[in-house]
Amino acid sequence: MSFELTSENYYSDIANYEYMSVSQFKDFAGTYGKVGCEECAMAKIQGKFREPNRTALLEGSYVDAFYEGTLDKFKEEHPEMFTQKGELRSNFAKAERAIARSMRDPLFQEYMSGEKQVIMTGELFGAKWKIKMDSYHPGKAIVDLKYMQSLTKFGYVPDIGYLDFVRYWGYDVQGAIYQEIVRQNTGKKLPFYIAGISKEEAIDIEVIYIHDNYLQEALRRVETCMPRILEVKSGKVKPERCEQCLWCRDTKVLRGAIGIGDLTASL
């Protein structure tokens, strides 16, 4: 019996086993801004590890839920966002202000007015992939919503230099995969945009077009990494540990003393 992917089971363990996704790819391969960990990625797929509900992720999910039209349900599922008096905690009150700021801008609303949370699947580099789009304009554009600390802060990468947040956090990979899977399903190669909102005191908003040359470069990186990822995911080779993530810290077994230089070995 074949597995049918739906909005209800999209994030389930079985869906993550059956399909690659952009987030799963980044769990394995990492981005310029975050080291990947094969063992942690496998622990997630196998249901052995769940990322904790970090405040920053909840804030982003709060904004996502508003644009999905599911904010009331999201509030019910996350009572930790409220004080004992029933008021939103300050960081979520800021998310409310960020939403209000984005709502005042006609162009931002135009880009976010597409079909919400559209699921598509396809095959790429020897794997089945799944995507879920924030705002899909059939035949016109793919738009992804991001609620970021800053839209203009650059991240430093050794041997490369400073990168914009799009490439630093691998959102170019997301755009490349989304664009290709939509092309497979519709025959049309659509432009990819990020509708960005910042968490700064003076809230910044932008609609950012990710040029195709960046997307093609990102797709080549995915292609390079996929043979190794598929070998690990299928169990043919043992996953490597990063020794930096929450999973590795929690499961670490000491084999002996280390030198002081080892403390900075990952820099």
- What pLDDT, on a 0 to 100 scale, did the predictor assign at position 2? 66
Average pLDDT along the chain: 94
Domains and CATH numbers, the chain: 13-251 (3.90.320.10)
Does the pLDDT at position 104 exceed 90? yes
Which tens digit of pLDDT belongs to each residue from 113-124? Answer: 999 999 999 999
pLDDT band at 135 (very low <50, low <70, confident <90, very high): very high
Which tens digit of pLDDT belongs to each residue from 218-253? Answer: 999 999 999 999 999 999 999 999 999 999 999 999
Q: Give the three-state DSSP class for 135.
A: strand
Q: Using alpha carbons, select from 193, 140, 142 the residue that is nearest to residue 166.
A: 193
Give the residue-averaged pLDDT of 181-206.
97
- What pLDDT, on a 0 to 100 scale, did the predictor assign at position 124? 97
Q: Where are the alpha helices (DSSP H) in the chain?
A: 13-18, 22-29, 38-45, 55-68, 71-77, 90-103, 106-111, 165-168, 171-186, 212-233, 246-251
C-alpha triplet 24, 27, 29: angle, nearest 5°: 105
Does the pLDDT at position 1 exceed 70? no
CA–centroid distance for 81 within its chain: 22
Does the pLDDT at position 194 exceed 80? yes
Q: Give CB contacts under 8 A, 24+ apart, made by 224-230.
A: 225/25, 225/28, 225/29, 226/125, 226/126, 226/127, 227/125, 227/126, 229/20, 229/25, 229/28, 229/29, 229/38, 229/127, 230/126, 230/127
- What pLDDT, on a 0 to 100 scale, did the predictor assign at position 261? 86
Q: Give the three-state DSSP class for 71.
A: helix
Which tens digit of pLDDT belongs to each residue from 16-26? Answer: 999 999 999 99
The encoded tokens of residue 133 equal: 């789009």
Which tens digit of pLDDT belongs to each residue from 32-90? Answer: 999 999 999 999 999 999 888 778 888 999 999 999 999 999 999 999 999 989 899 99
pLDDT band at 3 (very low <50, low <70, confident <90, very high): confident
Q: Give the three-state DSSP class for 235.
A: coil
Nearby residues of 28 by Cβ (< 8 Å), 6 or more positions away: 36, 37, 38, 41, 225, 229, 232, 233
- What pLDDT, on a 0 to 100 scale, did the predictor assign at position 35? 94
Q: What's the rounded Cα separation, in Å, for the pair 106 and 195?
A: 12
